[in-house]
Amino acid sequence: MWLPDSKAYEYYESRGSSSSSSSDAQGIPRELMNRVLLAIGDEILKNSDSTSREELEKMVEKMIKGEMLRRNDKDKDASEKVEDKGKDEINSMGSRSILAYLEEEGYINRGSRRLLTGKGFMSIGILMLKDVLKAFKSNTLGMHETSKSGYGTMMLESSKRYEQGDDLKALNVPKSILNAVERIMREKGMVDLPIEFKVDDLEQYEMLNEVKVAVAYCIDLSSTMRYSSLNDDVSRIEAAKKALWCLYVLNRRLFPSDTIHILGFGALATKIMPKDIPYLKTFEPGHDFLHYTNYQAAFRLATKILNREDATKKRVVMITDGQPSACFIDSESERERILDARPYSHFYRPDKITLDMLRGEQGIRVDTTSGSLVYLCYRYRQVDPYIATKTILEAKKCKRSGIDIDTLMISEEDVLLKFVNEMERHIKGRSYYISPSDLGKVLITDYIQHKRQMVRTSSTYR
């Protein structure tokens, strides 16, 4: 798995949040720098790696003018005269100087095919994650419960009855004293010192057991993912990329022992390096027939990857806007059976020229080991019965190997949920119907819920 430069990451954390950071020393307020970084991230999500230097300069220049207007709108009382110096500094800076500073400090590399460095990727991801987390309430991150006993790794505020053999390190002393006092008052009507404890008085803090997780997020790269919903300017693929960018940063910061794999899929699937998440593009008809949707391709590649992981929980999370319109054909006899029933059926085998072009332009290595002959059949708001059967059978294979499957639909057409709900019913999975604007919150909440389970005994609570 690709990892960012640890020194660069530490630099951002230690200096980026400090009032004495180098950006302030250069006359560039940290708040403005963060907004510039976020704007660059949003621009890359929207236009991938096609943003030119001139476009970046125009974007930053617009932000500088906006900062000037914001500061001019402030009241001119005595307490804010100190802002005049900052305003003059902003007025004197230009978009080129800010971009040059970002390049000098290692956030971007304008001479590279990919604009962001490892430091820039993590820094922007942190800022995006903070924006997503601001939308959370303190009680929105739930926890899965279990009746199994054991020792956890995180102490909670809640407590339970102590039992013989439990670890005394987690003893809830205030609650235990209160229990003893209440018992003595009931028995004697008064409390004498020293207090005599009984085992039934003792309580210990409950613990959270952090579960090692391996997840494969499978992003639909079919051509319809480039569309925006009716009430949102953000396209489906932009929302998916931003959510996974935030999720990867959260994973690296809080759960480094876990693994997150990113897969993209159309008619075939491909493994995506985390640093390439912002630059993902949908497959278009010019990419041969890769713009169809083959759930099987995602399931097969994800299963191969996750079966190599040593994790307590393994999951596949499908992020898609539609139903499958393709499946693998695993033998010539299978192909003949389809042609006998449907003489005008269309099949696709990727050619070397297309695969080489994708590898050269986008660095994508399409997986052809899971299957190379694909049956294509698109039906508006319907799924071809043969494709539906093959897809559900593949999902069941994945489930039998110990991998859970959940599906997130980011489409305004709720009729498309019919097949997904049917598939999840067969494998006892879950399906969600969400808008692009909520995707980041849903994925992060869902990930943390799967990370935690309550460690309890079967004893009765007070």
- Would you state the pLDDT for residue 6? 35
Q: Quick one: 391 exposed, middle or buried, by C-beta within 10 A (0-12, 13-18, 19+)?
A: buried
Q: Please state the domain extents for the chain.
A: 6-134, 154-210, 213-453
The β-bridge relationship of strands 203-210 and 366-367 is unpaired
- DSSP bridge partners of 154: 208
Q: How many CA atoms lie within 13 A of 20 on its CB side?
A: 1
Q: How many CA atoms lie within 13 A of 459 on its CB side?
A: 17
- Would you state the pLDDT for residue 451? 67
| Residues with Cβ within 8 Å of residue 137, at least 6 apart in sequence | none
Q: With contact defined as beta carbons under 8 Å apart, do 452 and 209 qualify?
A: yes
Q: Is 363 helix (H, G, I), strand (E, B) or coil?
A: coil
- What the block records as the tokens of 138 is 């303190």
What is the amino acid identity at position 403? I
- Would you state the pLDDT for residue 221? 95
| b (16+ CB within 10 A) / e for 351-378 | eeebbeebeeebebebbeebbebbbbbb
pLDDT in tens, the chain (462 residues): 333 433 333 333 333 433 334 455 455 678 878 888 998 898 889 887 666 667 777 777 777 777 666 666 654 444 454 445 445 555 555 666 788 888 888 888 877 778 889 999 999 999 999 888 887 654 443 333 333 333 334 444 566 676 766 666 777 888 888 888 888 888 888 887 888 887 788 887 776 666 789 999 999 999 989 888 656 678 899 999 999 999 999 988 888 889 999 999 999 999 999 999 999 999 988 778 899 999 999 999 999 999 999 988 999 999 998 889 999 999 999 999 999 998 989 999 988 888 888 888 777 889 999 998 999 998 888 899 999 999 999 999 999 999 999 998 887 666 778 889 899 999 998 888 887 878 888 888 888 777 654 333 233 223
Task: Name the strand (E) or helix (H) holding 288.
Answer: none
- Would you state the pLDDT for residue 78? 42
- Would you state the pLDDT for residue 12? 34
Task: Name the strand (E) or helix (H) holding 155.
Answer: strand 154-161
Is the CATH number of domain 213-453 3.40.50.620? no
Return d(Cα 91, Cα 396) in angstroms, integer. Answer: 62
- Would you state the pLDDT for residue 95? 63
Q: How many CA atoms lie within 13 A of 50 on its CB side?
A: 6
The β-bridge relationship of strands 452-455 and 366-367 is unpaired
Q: How many CA atoms lie within 13 A of 419 on its CB side?
A: 25
Task: Name the strand (E) or helix (H) holding 414.
Answer: none
- Would you state the pLDDT for residue 354? 84
Q: pLDDT for 160-218, tens place per residue?
A: 676 766 666 777 888 888 888 888 888 888 887 888 887 788 887 776 666 789 999 99
Return d(Cα 201, Cα 177) in angstroms, integer. Answer: 7
- Would you state the pLDDT for residue 72? 65
Q: What is the pTM of this model?
A: 0.74
- Would you state the pLDDT for residue 400? 95
- What the block records as the tokens of 396 is 């069941």
- Would you state the pLDDT for residue 257? 86
Return d(Cα 48, Cα 241) in angstroms, integer. Answer: 10
106: left (phi over 0), alpha (psi -120 to 50) or beta: left
Return d(Cα 366, Cα 355) in angstroms, integer. Answer: 7
